[in-house]
Amino acid sequence: MLFISLPLQDGDLFGGAYIRPSCAPSALYVLPKIGAAAPLWLIQKSGAELTPAVVDDLFRATFNDDADAALRLIPHYGFDVFTTPWS
């Protein structure tokens, strides 16, 4: 599941994305880094950049049942259940 919400709030982008693979114990929340030279998304829990390698691991864990990819993703999962990272 992928849900993206990037509304404007006071003239600035506000929000992020929620990524929940079917095989995952919880979700990844990613936030855009505004003002970066290139588009940049940061994973809320780990602070890591959402790189092509992380996206590849998401696909491998979901569609190939790749245990190594699933293990690499564990540090990125999770959030405070009472708030979203952009509230």
Per DSSP, the residues of 19-82 read E--TT-SS-EEEEE-TT-SS--EEETTT--B--HHHHHHHHHHHHS--HHHHHHHGGG----TT
Cα atoms in the 13 Å half-sphere on the side-chain side of 74? 6
Number of structural domains in the chain: 1
What is the pLDDT at residue 82?
46
pLDDT tens-digit profile, the chain (87 residues): 777 777 777 776 667 888 888 777 778 888 888 776 777 888 988 989 999 999 999 999 888 889 999 899 999 987 655 455 555
Q: Is 81 within the bounds of a domain?
A: no
Q: Is 39 within the bounds of a domain?
A: yes
Residue 17 lies in domain: 2-76
Q: How many CB atoms lie within 10 A of CB 58?
A: 22
Could you tell me the pTM of the whole model?
0.74
